[in-house]
Amino acid sequence: MRAYDKRGSGLTDRFRKSACVIFMKKIGFYLSILALTGVALAQDSLAPLTVVGDQIEEIEGFSAEELAIFQTQKVKQLLGQVPGFASAASDSAGFGDFIGVRGTGNTAFFGPAGVALTVDGVPYGDAYTYSTDFFDLESAQLHRGPQGAFFGRNGAGGLLELKTPGPTADPYYRLTTEYGNYNAFGARFLASGPINDKFSYTFQAYFNEREGYIDNQFLNTDVDSRERFGALANLYYRPSADLEIRFRAMVETARDGGQRLSLIPGTVSPFGVPGGDPFQTGSDVLGETSLDRQQFSFHVTRDLGWATFKSLSSFQKWSIGPNFTDLDFTASPFISSTSDIKQNQDYVTNDFRLISDETRDFRWQVGLFRSEADTDGVATRVLPLGGGFSGVQTTTFDSNRETYALYGSVAKDVNDRLTLEAGGRIEYVDTDLSRLQVNNFNPVDPSVRFSGQTDDWYFSPTLGLTYEASNDVTLFARTSIGVKPAGFTAFSDVAATSSYEDETAWETEVGVRYNSPDENWNMELRGYYKKIDDYQLNRSTATGNFIILNAEEVRAIGIEAEANWNPSDRLAISASAGLSEIEFEKFGTLSGNRVPFVPEFTASLGFRYDIGNGFYVSSAYRTIGSVNYEDNGTSTFKQEAYQILDAQIGYEAENWSATIFGHNILDENYYSFISPQISAGAPGTPALYGVRVSVEF
């Protein structure tokens, strides 16, 4: 079988592999799995389970209490709260969003994620399939820098690790409801507890809905209504102190109106329509977004005495469609431009690892990981041809990406103060794509076919150290390499621009951590330098299609700081700041321009003060620096710096609470996403306010 050469030399024998080679790789992988499983099940007299510590690049996580102060309920809302984190939200149930850390992120529709996401250890596939809303969380942690040596799911730029609460010792139930402006209604339910002496469970569900923020002046209705539902269930079986088996199931749906888009004020769209009020539009058709997700996973944890064995197998079925958007924003019968995307992804993962006792002065872990992402879809676009005529372009595609990885790390306490760590990941990735594009307005050659295949091996090493300068002060340093594999995009006109190359980042960070429990405060200061070769980024073509280019070199330099302080039992304060310079170092005439979607500065300050007698007040302030939304650096499609202020005041009793909340209470106008191709953007969430009541029993 021949493979498409991702470096542009066409079909070549250099990547040729036989079916026998593929078969042997799979057989070897599964034999390794069987060997590990056999070792795990052969043990019968074991010590209690151990908890695995963080790797050297230990980053303070943000607790459920901090998430409550900042009213964080979605991944995109971490923007400004967490330094180094970037998000561009197109408000289409996550489809087309950008999520990045220190400049490394994803492209819109195709290409690997730069920041991986796991919830309860279960990995998600491409970034556009990430969960739309948070379930109730026990903890959240952003691991910055390449994470290939520490997790089965590769995080070339970082990994966001979310954990939901485990089962309670006694039966526990909580119901929370809230109501706010825009006829917003939300409800959350959580149940947890034992079933008998061996079984326990957790269950939680959420539902929220609201009317749209944008008014359609032509159709006299709102555009972007939202309705979301999610449910998560865990069944735990613990037959002995050394074995835990867990089955997890999750479903999510979104039944939304149109994408929250309007023309940018001060611009004229490609269809000659001037921008105006960001919260008004005049389209003659309404958009629609429908999303479904089902996720199932099976977890086994077994203490072998000399190590802990962990097994996690998961399956996720994700689909979006219709994802219908009006691109011309007019009611003119002579102009018609729309987009309708239906896309599906089945994502299967297997992760098996052995982890040593973390209390020893020499610690290690080793793992095997496999994943397969099968993606197919149909994208239909109506394009204006002039003279009141329109044409239809239909793109049908099918893509498969298969990954096998061996990863691991070792840590050695040289003495009481110094720890050295090293690790690495060897990964094999095989990607193929077949595409058919049909243009009914081209009678001579209406169809364009393309198929390609690429495979390669990747090595991602890491090396680090920590030094305890005192009981309160720790110094740390780490250098590592992260790789985003090569692949293909289906939204391209010609074969020559349908492929893209690997992206390789070499990142080095140094920092200091201060933790003083006696003084009730801690802080962390980090500086980093990153060099990214063949940076993957989106570019639209003259015909409105999307390709993925490789910029020769990107340079990223930044500094980040986080601190938490509890000056008294009643007051908790959390603050952060991040400053970065992430630019194209070598990219033709665009050298020196900032990389799109990444703010140059973020900062946050939040607090909660318990007034007494059950009353409390909290507030959070975030500032996000300017963001470019195209690589040429022009100011036309640039979001200037903006600030968000949130506040809450509430009362907490023994088993119930009531809260009055406000989000963006200063009604700051900004865009969370801008599309230069159609001179439109997604205006940020306006001022929201409401009341929330929670009951526990």
Q: Which residues pair with 420 in a beta bridge?
A: 412, 465
pLDDT tens-digit map of 116-151: 999 999 999 999 999 888 999 998 899 999 999 999
Residue 682 CA to residue 674 CA, distance in Å, equals 6
Write down how long the chain is: 697
Cβ atoms of residues 624 and 654 within 8 Å: no
Phi, psi (rounded to 5 degrees) for 197: -75, -10
Q: Which helix (H) or strand (E) holds 340?
A: strand 338-355
- Output 359 or 387, whichever has higher pLDDT: 359
Phi, psi (rounded to 5 degrees) for 397: -145, 160
Is residue 44 over pLDDT 60? no
Phi, psi (rounded to 5 degrees) for 265: -60, 140
Is residue 75 over pLDDT 80? yes
Asked if the peptide bond before residue 322 counts as cis, ω within 30 degrees of 0, the response is yes
Both structure tokens of 655? 């088993």
Q: What is the DSSP letter of 595?
A: P
From its phi and psi, is residue 291 left (phi > 0), alpha (psi between -120 and 50) or beta? Answer: beta
C-alpha pair distances (Å), 451 with each of 187, 371, 454: 47, 22, 11
Using CA atoms of 141, 146, 152, 153 in order, give the dihedral in degrees to the nearest 10. 80
Q: What is the DSSP letter of 520?
A: T
Is residue 567 over pLDDT 50? yes
- Confidence tier at 62 by pLDDT (50, 70, 90): low
From its phi and psi, is residue 476 left (phi > 0), alpha (psi between -120 and 50) or beta? Answer: beta
How many Cα atoms sit within 13 Å of 586 on the Cβ side? 7
Provide the CATH number for the domain around residue 603: 2.40.170.20
Percent of the chain with pLDDT over 70: 90
Q: How many domains does the chain have?
A: 1
Quote the strand ranges of 145-211, DSSP E.
158-163, 172-180, 184-194, 199-210
Q: Which residues pair with 575 in a beta bridge?
A: 563, 605
Position 15, amino acid: F
Question: Across the beta sheet with 221-222, what order do the strands follow?
Answer: 221-222, 215-216, 280-281
**Mean pLDDT across the chain, nearest whole number?**
88
Q: Which helix (H) or strand (E) holds 40?
A: helix 19-42
Question: Structural domain of residue 207, as residue ranges?
Answer: 3-696
Both structure tokens of 271? 């269809």
pLDDT tens-digit map of 537-552: 988 876 667 889 999 9
From its phi and psi, is residue 641 left (phi > 0), alpha (psi between -120 and 50) or beta? Answer: beta
pLDDT tens-digit map of 613-667: 999 999 999 999 999 998 887 778 899 999 999 999 999 999 999 999 999 999 9
Both structure tokens of 637? 């499609």
Is residue 258 over pLDDT 60? yes
Please give the angle made by the CA atoms of 164, 135 and 297, to the nearest 5 degrees.
60
- Confidence tier at 35 by pLDDT (50, 70, 90): very low
pLDDT of residue 31: 41
pLDDT of residue 334: 80
Residue 599 CA to residue 409 CA, distance in Å, equals 33
pLDDT tens-digit map of 228-253: 999 999 999 999 999 999 999 999 99
pLDDT of residue 431: 97
